[in-house]
Each structure stands twice: as C-alpha cells, then as structure tokens.
C-alpha cells in the first residue's frame, strides 16, 4: 500500500515538473489606454516617480516606506519601496527616457521574491489625445512558471495595469481641465502648479 502511494506521488510530481518545464521562458503583459491630453502632459506624470502615488495601482500600503534617489526625473531617477505583504519591497530605476515617446524602467523585486524585469511606457499622440501603452516583460523563473500553472500572469498583472491607466487618465484629464479653466478665468494661483506651468510653457513654444 505504501509502495503504491509513493509511486503515485512520484508520478504526480513528475507530471508537475514536466508541466512547469513546458511553461514559456519569457512573459510579456501589455495594456493600453487613450487619454484626452497632449503627450507631454501624460509623459510628465510617468517620468517623475514622485507623482506615481496619485495613480499607481501598486501604492496599496499607506505606511509604505518610500525613498527617492538619483535624478529628480527622467533617466537616472530611482524609487525604492518597502511595505506590507501586498506591495513587498523593491527598486525602480528609469534607464531610458525619451520625451513624449518612451520611458523604460528597470524593475527589481526584492521581496516577497527576487526578480528583475523591465517595464515600458510608450506614448503616441493622436490629435488632442495620447495613446499610452504600459508593458512589463522579463524571463520566467522556476517559481513564476510554477505559479503560472494556477494563475495567469496576464490577468493578474494586466488587471493592475488597467486600473493604473484608468487612474492616470483621471489624474491627467482632471488636472488639464483645471488648468484650462484657471487660465480662462485668469486665476494666477494656478501658476504655482507644475502641471499648469508646463502647459503654459508648451503653448508659448
């Protein structure tokens, strides 16, 4: 009886290992959204880690420790976080920043598991709107392959991206509307807002 149980368990383990080994070596998750604002407005929100707290879907821990280092924005900007089990710990570094076109981020997870992936944001102007695409890609570790047997990476991460893009859309469109109203009414208090200042500068150019 015991011998039979061990044989069955060994067979199940072999099947499991085979299934894990057959999982893709790489993954890629992509989501897009259209935002009613010029590309420079949308780009500015993503190019500055300090602004991510307003729209990132991963800011789930109010007590999360945040550290900003390197450049204030763009290439060389670094954002480190450490929080509860929902957010873990890690570091994001902007390694490529092309104004109103592309932002590439090296994403290093330290907890609950170690992994290094790449995130990209691309911006495509479409008249008065901007198409934003958020992509995450990297190599599947043995652990991520095993997890992939029970849950879809595309669904799990993709849902977060959809929520984040929806929040980014709300932030950008509401601030753009507020700036437009302030400029129309001559409200000078809005001149201290960096978003409005950038819009005004763009118009002057």
Task: Say what the pLDDT of residue 145 is.
Answer: 66
Burial class (CB in 10 A: 0-12, 13-18, 19+), 133: middle
Residues of 86-110 as b/e, b for ≥16 C-beta within 10 angstroms? ebbbbbbbbeebeebeebbbeeebe
The tokens describing 46, both together, are 């993503």
Q: Which residue has the higher pLDDT, 205 or 46?
A: 46
In the structure, what pLDDT confidence band is assigned to residue 5 with cuts at 50, 70 and 90?
Answer: confident
> Is the pTM above the cut of 0.85?
no
Average pLDDT value for the chain:
83
What CATH number has the domain spanning 23-204? 3.30.530.20
Please state the separation of Cα 74 from the chain's center in Å.
15
Task: Say what the pLDDT of residue 25 is.
Answer: 72
> Tens of pLDDT along 35-93?
999 999 999 999 999 999 999 999 888 889 999 999 999 999 999 999 998 889 999 99
> Tens of pLDDT along 99-128?
999 999 999 999 988 889 999 999 999 989
Q: Beta-carbon neighbour count of residue 134 at 10 Å?
A: 23
* Tokens 């368990």, located at residue: 9
Domain boundaries, the chain: 23-204
Task: Say what the pLDDT of residue 117 is.
Answer: 95
């Amino acid at each position: 009886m015991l011998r039979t149980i061990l044989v069955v368990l060994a067979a199940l383990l072999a099947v499991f290992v085979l299934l894990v080994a057959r999982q893709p070596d790489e993954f890629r998750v992509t989501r897009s959204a259209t935002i009613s604002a010029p590309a420079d407005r949308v780009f500015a929100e993503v190019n500055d880690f300090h602004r991510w707290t307003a729209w990132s879907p991963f800011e789930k821990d109010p007590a999360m420790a945040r550290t900003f280092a390197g450049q204030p924005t763009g290439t060389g900007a670094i954002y480190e976080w450490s929080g509860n089990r929902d957010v873990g710990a890690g570091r994001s570094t902007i390694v490529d920043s092309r104004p109103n076109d592309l932002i590439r981020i090296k994403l290093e997870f330290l907890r609950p598991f170690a992994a290094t992936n790449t995130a990209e944001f691309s911006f495509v102007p479409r008249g008065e709107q901007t198409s934003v695409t958020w992509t995450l890609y990297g190599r599947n570790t043995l652990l991520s392959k095993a997890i992939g047997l029970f849950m879809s990476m595309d669904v799990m991460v993709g849902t977060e991206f959809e929520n984040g893009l929806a929040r980014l859309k709300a932030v950008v469109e509401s601030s753009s509307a507020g700036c437009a109203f302030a400029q129309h009414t001559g409200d000078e208090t809005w001149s201290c807002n960096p978003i409005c200042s950038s819009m005004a500068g763009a118009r002057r150019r």
